[in-house]
Amino acid sequence: MKYDFTSSASRENSNAEKYTLREKLFGSDEVLPVWVADMDIDTPEFVLEAVKQRLKHPIVGYEEVPTSAFEVQIKWMDEKHGVKFELEDLLYSHSVVASMSVAIDAFSEIGDKVIVQTPIYPPFFHSVKEHKRELLINPLKQMSDGRYTFDIDDLKSKVDANTKLLLLCSPHNPVGRVWSRDELTEILEICLENNIVVFSDEIHSDLVYAPNKHIPFASISKQARDITITAIGVGKTFNMAGFAMSSVAITNKKLREKFTQSYNRVHFAQGSVLSHVAFQSAYKDGSQWRDELVEHLGKNYKSLNELCQKYKDKIKLIPIEATYLAWLDCRGMNLSDRDLRKFFTQKAKLGLNAGLSFGREGSGFMRLNFAVSTSQMLEVIKRLDKALRIKYKK
């Protein structure tokens, strides 16, 4: 391994959101926060170095995103994910969630229906509600092995002429699925039949565990390309959320124009010059770092799984294929959602996301972010093991 993930800088006294909000959310600063989806792993040195180099020029003014930044992203998307975009397809965005909000504004009207597949990352349903669109909830269903899949019959029975947009999460947060070509094709068919535009949030697409392979929605077919808005970025992969830079790819000119009208209304502009160089260096120099990170995350996932196996009638780790977010099925503990949260914060001293925040299907679940260094993972396991051992006298 060229890169070292065994330890990382402490975020205790930084302004990291997952630490600063501890007291407010969990009632104690002793809680080890494993909730917000960024990593307690250092942002790669080559990214920080690129920023330092840029700062050698003493003027930090308005700058356009350089073509070279999008060119390296296009190359990455082609080589890693087999999807081809052109420079003209790409737009700067400071945030995937903001891009989603623009898509809702652009492709639906007040009162129209927008499809969201729960349990899901909360901004999906919040954005729909904030825009006064109607939420069309199409819950995912669990298969016998615990993994989730789309409920196609439910979706077919619910879509109608007022359904304008589907917000796809691919790979999915929090259930960790990498959707197969067959699953995506079924979704595509429904969208084509009903003139539904697809906003495909692919922010987790670089964090996929072998042998799974991410399939960009826009890569399924020409028809899929024509109805897709793809949101992609480096925020998750390289722990760069603080640089606030991602992009949106829209190959259909008409859709791109419509999106751009809404986008211009809220003045997305071109972001920060420091983000441009960070973004470019991540895509240019980050291939090996990404591969080694995924290997490291796989080990953390394995150790969490080993722990859950010990208490398997109480906690089940839903098998995941991507992301660093473990979706823990704690229904075997027979606790109310309130008591479940209390168990994790007060007994295990760990700050997780409550499953219910991902939709009502998340009742009895908790989400744990295992994107931490090896030493911090040992601490997470130690705390959880101790709390479970005491509770179940094992």
Residues in the site for ligand PLP, rule: CB under 6 A?
Answer: 37, 95-97, 121, 169, 173, 201, 203, 233, 235, 241, 246
Give least dist CB 27 to ligand PLP, A: 23
Question: How many whole angstroms separate alpha carbon 154 and alpha carbon 115?
Answer: 11
Give least dist CB 368 to ligand PLP, A: 14
Which is closer to ligand PLP, CB of 169 or CB of 354? 169
Give least dist CB 255 to ligand PLP, A: 20
Which is closer to ligand PLP, CB of 32 or CB of 240? 240
Question: How many whole angstroms separate alpha carbon 8 and alpha carbon 29?
Answer: 19
Which is closer to ligand PLP, CB of 114 or CB of 388? 114
Q: Which residue has the tokens 């359904």?
A: 163
Sign for the pseudo-dihedral over CA of 337, 340, 345, 346 = positive
Give least dist CB 173 to ligand PLP, A: 4
Which residues does 257 contact at the CB level (< 8 Å), separation at least 6?
Answer: none
Question: How many whole angstroms separate alpha carbon 65 and alpha carbon 81?
Answer: 23
Q: What angle is formed at CA 333 by the lines to CA 330 and CA 337, rounded to 5 degrees? A: 65
Of the candidates 265, 269, 252, the residue with the CA atom closest to the CA atom of residue 93: 269
Question: How many whole angstroms separate alpha carbon 222 and alpha carbon 199?
Answer: 16
Strands 325-329 and 316-317: antiparallel
Which is closer to ligand PLP, CB of 278 or CB of 333? 278
Residues 345 and 315 sit within 8 Å (Cβ to Cβ): no
Which is closer to ligand PLP, CB of 235 or CB of 271? 235
Give least dist CB 96 to ligand PLP, A: 4
How many Å is the Cα radius of gyration of the chain?
21
Which is closer to ligand PLP, CB of 122 or CB of 146? 122
Give least dist CB 246 to ligand PLP, A: 5
